[in-house]
Structure 1
Amino acid sequence: MAKQVSDTERQASKSSVPKEGILDLLFNMDPLTGGELPMKLVYRITHIAILIIGYIYYSMLADGKIHQIAKTKAELEEIRADYTTQKAEFMKIGKQSYLAGAMKKYSLEVSLTPPTKVVVDQSKEK
């Protein structure tokens, strides 16, 4: 059989169950704002959120540039080291003592007589 419940009992049972959700209980601003969320506050919060997002974006962009600069510096140092090594090698190859050793492969010898200078007297040719 159904049990008769009075109006006061019904209201007491309804008041024990919250009408609002958990988020409404956590973020209830009614005591602070008087029932409505002021639009001025919403605009300020939105403006600050946009500024924070911009700050995060540009700081990440700057970090990326810093990493790119470091990578480029490392590549430059590697190229500079290669240049120095090749320059030293070419200086060694250009020496007469190295050339004399390389000419022995082809059975050539270094000339022991110094070169002579040929002088042409241009006054006699006219």
Structure 2
Amino acid sequence: MKKNIYSILRGKFLISDDSFKNWRFIILISFLAIIMIASSHSADQKVYEIAKLTNEVKELRSAFVDKRGQLMQLKKESFVEAEMKEKGIGISLNPPTKIIVKSQRQEQ
């Protein structure tokens, strides 16, 4: 047992006569490790992108709610009336009348 551990530590399994099988296994393990590391980096990058997009969505939603509130304020009749008074336009005392246009088709 002690001799086997000592031979592994010295690297005899890499230079022995049947070391080709060992080298293939080492290369396979190295290749799989590289793929695993690349996959991990890709997943981390996607997590950061998702976090960035989530923050952007929150900011846009906040801006939307703010603008919608401003629009609701601008649409109020009292606000429109106050703005028109500043420009010298007042509310009409006469209600609006409906204008009906009759088409002039010639009947034959």
Gaps of 5+ in 1: 1-24
Gaps of 5+ in 2: 1-6
> What is the one-letter code of the residue matched to 1:79?
L
Is this contact kept in 1: 2:14–2:22, CA < 8 A? Answer: no
> What is the one-letter code of the residue matched to 1:90?
L
> What is the one-letter code of the residue matched to 2:58?
E
**Residue 86 (structure 1) aligns with:** 67
* TM-score of the superposed pair, with normalisation by structure 2: 0.76
1:1-126 → structure 2 map (5 Å cutoff): 27-30=9-12, 35-36=16-17, 38-122=19-103
Q: How many residues align?
A: 101
Residue by residue over 1:23-63, the C-alpha shift from the partner in whole angstroms, topping out at 9 and shown as x without a partner, is: xx983144x68955611011101110110111011111111
In structure 2, C-alpha distance between the alignment counterparts of 1:107 and 1:82, rounded to whole Å: 33
> Which one scores higher on RCO, CA 8 angstroms, separation ≥ 6?
2
* TM-score of the superposed pair, with normalisation by structure 1: 0.66
**Residue 21 (structure 1) aligns with:** none
> What is the one-letter code of the residue matched to 1:81?
S
Q: What fraction of aligned residue pairs are identical, expressed as a percent? A: 28
